[in-house]
């Protein structure tokens, strides 16, 4: 009875927080319209959102057609939390997070989550005046549903074997409902087309670390910005390697990769491609998926925009043990 009452209070708190956010954002257009395809029930819901750290959110350097108001932290922080609470996830993974301690952790703790964070060792955010700390990867979990077993912070290496500026967070969570342990991993691999081989090497490092951190049954979710098209070697590596054989969750749900997961204007070109993924172990089944918006629904200035706070679309899935 106590657990039921706690869950009821938690749900009420999340609804109230979402209502507060919607009121604060009522002068802005609604979030991009997206369709959620789900089965009759779900066991746990995972939400992956890609944020914009302070170092990335410059309209003159990175998002040449984005309205300057859409990049303001005062708006983006509300819009990002709004879309998280809209789907009421059990597990949340965030990237390019530079407001972990002062915003996301306290805001999400108020509505029943706890969170973990691993910072980049040389975060560009620290070079800005009045910064809020380094950016990195974060993970939150519903404390009524999951209990933390352990965590492992990973700093990936560069092509010379030296520590790079890419990180991963590996978290083992115990599902109190099904009494099973789930290994959740969030990472952000090296960007730019010329680093394909490095991303492949970092993928191998990541899989080795994950394999060392899981139990024998290997219930695993790996998610993040791989900065790699579906045809790139690191994506193929995720499905065929000596450590774990994972499946592409979007393909499991819909039969194909999304048309795009990021769409933006850079100073020299328009960028529209799929580089973000959620990979799941074979013992997990995908029972629901939030589809990317229709291209015609994305504003002319692309992403980010007033309807969406990041240049990458969130990935949302329902999973259950098969």
Q: Which is nearest to 52 in space by CA: 84, 97, 8?
A: 97
Task: Specify the pLDDT at position 31.
Answer: 93
Share of the chain above pLDDT 90, in %: 76
Tell me the average pLDDT across 92-120.
95
* Dihedral sign computed on CA atoms, order 123, 127, 133, 135: negative
H helical segments located in the chain: 2-24, 73-87, 105-109, 196-213, 233-239, 249-254
Q: Which is nearest to 249 in space by CA: 82, 115, 95, 48?
A: 48
Tell me the average pLDDT across 263-269.
92
Tell me the average pLDDT across 31-45.
73
Task: Specify the pLDDT at position 194.
Answer: 96
In tens, the pLDDT along 273-306 reads 999 999 999 999 999 999 999 999 999 999 999 9
Q: Which is nearest to 281 in space by CA: 216, 227, 190?
A: 216
Give yes or no for residue 61 having a pLDDT over 80. no
């Amino acid at each position: 009875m106590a657990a039921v009452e706690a869950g009821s209070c938690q749900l009420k708190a999340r609804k109230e927080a979402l209502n507060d956010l919607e009121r604060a954002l009522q002068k802005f257009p609604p979030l991009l319209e997206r369709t959620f395809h789900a089965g009759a029930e779900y066991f746990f819901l995972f939400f992956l959102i890609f944020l914009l750290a302070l170092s990335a959110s410059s309209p003159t350097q990175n998002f040449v057609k984005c309205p300057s108001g859409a990049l303001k932290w005062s708006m983006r922080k509300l819009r990002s939390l709004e879309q998280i609470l809209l789907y009421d996830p059990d597990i949340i993974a965030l990237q390019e997070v530079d407001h972990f301690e002062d915003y996301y952790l306290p805001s999400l703790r108020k509505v029943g989550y706890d969170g973990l964070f691993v910072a980049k060792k040389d975060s560009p955010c620290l070079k800005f005046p009045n910064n809020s700390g380094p950016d990195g990867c974060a993970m939150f979990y519903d404390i009524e549903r999951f209990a933390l077993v352990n965590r492992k912070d990973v700093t990936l290496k560069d092509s010379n074997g030296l520590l790079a500026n890419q990180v991963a967070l590996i978290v083992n969570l115990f599902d109190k409902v099904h009494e099973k342990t789930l290994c959740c991993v969030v990472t952000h691999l090296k960007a730019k087309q010329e680093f394909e081989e490095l991303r492949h090497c970092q993928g191998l490092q990541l899989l080795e670390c994950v394999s060392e951190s899981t139990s024998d049954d290997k219930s695993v979710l790996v998610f993040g910005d791989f900065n790699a098209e579906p045809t790139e070697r690191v994506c193929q590596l995720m499905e065929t390697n000596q450590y774990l054989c994972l499946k592409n969750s979007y393909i499991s749900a819909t039969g194909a990769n999304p048309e795009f997961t990021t769409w933006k204007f850079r100073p020299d070109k328009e960028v529209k491609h799929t580089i973000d993924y959620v990979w799941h172990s074979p013992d997990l089944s995908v029972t629901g998926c939030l589809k990317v918006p229709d291209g015609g629904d994305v504003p002319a200035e692309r992403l980010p925009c007033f309807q969406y706070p990041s240049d990458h679309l969130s990935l949302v899935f329902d999973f259950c043990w098969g």
